[in-house]
Amino acid sequence: MDVKLTLSPLENWIEGLDQPLVISGPCSAESEEQVLETARQLKEHTNIKVLRAGIWKPRTRPGAFEGIGVVGLKWLKKAKEETGLLTAVEVATAEHVELALKFGVDILWVGARTTVNPFAVQEVADALRGYDVPVLVKNPINPDLQLWIGALERINQAGITKLGGIHRGFSPMSGSQYRNDPSWEIPIELKRIIPALPIVCDPSHIAGNRTLIEPISQKAFDMQMNGIMIESHIDPDNALSDAKQQITPKTLAGILDRLIIREPATENVDFELRLKELRSKIDKIDNELLEVMGARMQVAEEIALHKKEHNITILQVNRYEEIMNDRIQKGKNVLLKEEFVKHLYELIHDNSIKRQTEIMNTENKAGETV
């Protein structure tokens, strides 16, 4: 995929903005006292540089607290003047952009429910034209990388180069331990496609509860994310929105102290030598894996011809079930997780079926295209 964005590195965004970037503050601004006191406590217990607060809250159903509105921007401005913290808010319309910038908000973000809608993103992008403000774009609620990239492109084409992504997870399958499934492969793929794009992880929205915030934050840094955004509140249990996932500034300070920030690389020669040795082992094993998978596919092709001759369906549910159970069991014997083996065999089987479908419907017995 060809994606060309003009990006400013994070260190050039705003004077004094540390890396990794840590953004924290209440899910929603609720009162002047709550915003100011959260800012004061964040300042007292941590050395984060950016205070967040939701001003306009897109809620799934009407009736829930939909945000305090523009008065919250005044409180944020006051908090900034008092503590020196930079401020960040979510914007979803042109009016939000204009108001946030009027009140001196330093960083804007586009929410997951806005990213899903190209019309809404374009409205925000058009309102941003001519401004030099950092903008973070949350992933869309559905796991659609194209939509996420499309939103980044729209904002970038409006001239915003201080641009980043926020990984807040994706609508989960039922029974997930997460409020939003992290599906790490999606932000990883975004990093692969646009390596210069800073990505901030939002462990609060992925977790949906306090206990998972720390391990998700650690994982985010181990996935080379450039920062984290964590919701904090002076009285989390009584928060008007997202009470279960908010933590106090003091709890945040504890988490930040325990997180280990690892380097993406080192110049240590011994480390590099050993890594090279191990990587060449991986290369060898991967070559063998590919050969074995190619050989398996050839047998599947032979089966396709055999079935075609006898007019037998491609899908054989009982055999598939037998393979799945057997391989999951055998995987366990070599310490492979059930989830991994299941996913792997879903992919293998799906591809086998695709190949058999091509052979059954477009090729003759000798494998020549008809």
Ligand X SMILES: O=C(O)C(=O)C[C@]1(C(=O)O)C=C[C@@H](O)C=C1
Residue ranges binding ligand X (CB under 6 A)? 300, 303, 315-316, 319-320, 323, 349, 352-353, 356
Evaluate whether 49 touches 17 at the Cβ level (below 8 Å).
Answer: yes
Of the pair 36, 336, the CB lying nearest ligand X is at 336
Cα gap 340→330, rounded to integer Å: 12
For the CB of residue 363, give the shortest distance to ligand X in the complex, in Å. Answer: 15
Residue 182 CB-density burial (10 A; 0-12 exposed, 13-18 middle, 19+ buried): buried
For the CB of residue 161, give the shortest distance to ligand X in the complex, in Å. Answer: 48
Evaluate whether 227 touches 20 at the Cβ level (below 8 Å).
Answer: yes
For the CB of residue 316, give the shortest distance to ligand X in the complex, in Å. Answer: 4
Of the pair 248, 356, the CB lying nearest ligand X is at 356
Q: Compute φ and ψ for 109, nearest 5 degrees.
A: -135, 150
Of the pair 204, 352, the CB lying nearest ligand X is at 352
Of the pair 221, 320, the CB lying nearest ligand X is at 320
Of the pair 70, 303, the CB lying nearest ligand X is at 303
How would DSSP label each residue in 316-363?
-HHHHHHHHHHHHHHHHHTT--HHHHHHHHHHHHHHHHHHHHHHHHHB
For the CB of residue 337, give the shortest distance to ligand X in the complex, in Å. Answer: 21
Of the pair 336, 360, the CB lying nearest ligand X is at 360
For the CB of residue 290, give the shortest distance to ligand X in the complex, in Å. Answer: 17
Inter-axis angle of helices 32-45 and 249-258, nearest 10: 30
Inter-axis angle of helices 118-128 and 145-157, nearest 10: 20
> Could you tell me the two tokens for 173?
């399958």
Of the pair 313, 333, the CB lying nearest ligand X is at 313
Distances in whole angstroms, Cα of residue 171 to Cα of each of 55, 176, 181: 23, 10, 6
For the CB of residue 346, give the shortest distance to ligand X in the complex, in Å. Answer: 11
Residue nearest to ligand X (CB): 352
For the CB of residue 320, give the shortest distance to ligand X in the complex, in Å. Answer: 4
Of the pair 101, 323, the CB lying nearest ligand X is at 323
Question: Angle CA(367)–CA(368)–CA(369) in degrees, nearest 5?
Answer: 115
Cα gap 363→357, rounded to integer Å: 10
Cα gap 161→21, rounded to integer Å: 17
For the CB of residue 185, give the shortest distance to ligand X in the complex, in Å. Answer: 23
Closest CA to 55 of 39, 41, 66: 66
